[in-house]
Amino acid sequence: MNFLLRISRGIDWLNERVGRVVLWCILIAVLISAGNAIIRKVFDTSSNAWLEVQWYLFSAVFLLCAGYTLLRNEHVRIDVLLHRFSKRTQIWIDIFGLIFFLMPAAVLIAALAWPVFMRAFVSREMSENAGGLIRWPVYILAPTGFALLALQGISEIIKRFAFLQGLIDDPTRKRQQKSAEEELAEEIARQAELAARKQVERGAGGQA
């Protein structure tokens, strides 16, 4: 079980890193949308490419963050009866759902989406819209996103069995209550602080 928990921590680390990187797509999409609107109003010109890149970025957030969302236990749950059971029963129900519902669906969708991506990649499929973008970069998001979700499903199964053995704390407890927007704002502030610190260090080095 200790070996499996190391695998679980590795999967968690992967989806944590992917999630934090993809969060920036939200800001980029907002900036592109605002910039496109301003250019359209001021210069009376635009391009379908700007619209499509926003769709691509939204798709990246939606698909690539599926595993990250499962890691944070933020997927929507409709709990009518589950809260009435003991924690161990809830964990067993989770394990059943992960093994027999999430895993087969994620693996099947990833497998079916891969040939779609390959056909678009080989043919260099382009958007049918004038000025549109090449399609394969967005097609690869589906198999990649569901593969990450399946990996996180494996991690969650491992953690639930470890919890039943008393090796770890409750894995269903939400890790934090911050929204994606709050996380992004904190990351922007952190990056700005790092940039300012580097600027100061460069200035100090130049004076020396």
Residue 96 belongs to some domain of the structure: yes
Does the residue 198 lie in any domain?
Answer: no
Residue 207 within any structural domain of the chain: no
b (16+ CB within 10 A) / e for 32-62: eeeebeeeeeeeeeebeebbbbbebbebbbe
Q: Quick one: pLDDT at residue 179?
A: 62
CB 59 within 8 A of CB 21: no
Query: Is 154 within the bounds of a domain?
Result: yes
Q: How far apart are CA 138 and CA 55, in angstroms?
A: 9
200 is a domain residue: no
- Return the closest-CA partner of residue 68 out of 113, 26, 111, 29: 26
Domain limits for position 46: 2-192
Q: What is the average pLDDT score of the chain?
A: 88
pLDDT of residue 150: 97
Q: What pLDDT, on a 0 to 100 scale, did the predictor assign at position 175?
A: 61
Residue 13 lies in a domain: yes
Three-class SS state of 134: strand
| The predicted structure's pLDDT at residue 185 | 73
C-alpha angle with apex 60: 55 to 63, nearest 5 degrees? 115
Q: Do 80 and 21 touch, CB atoms closer than 8 A?
A: no
CA distance 6 to 75: 24
**Within-domain flag for 201:** no
Asked if 151 and 67 count as a contact pair (C-beta separation under 8 A), the reply is yes
pLDDT in tens, 22-70: 989 998 999 998 988 888 888 888 788 888 999 999 999 999 999 999 9
In a domain, 23, yes or no: yes
Three-state secondary structure call for residue 126 = strand
Q: With a threshold of 0.85, does the pTM exceed it?
A: no
Residues of the chain below pLDDT 50: none
Our count of domains for the chain comes to 1
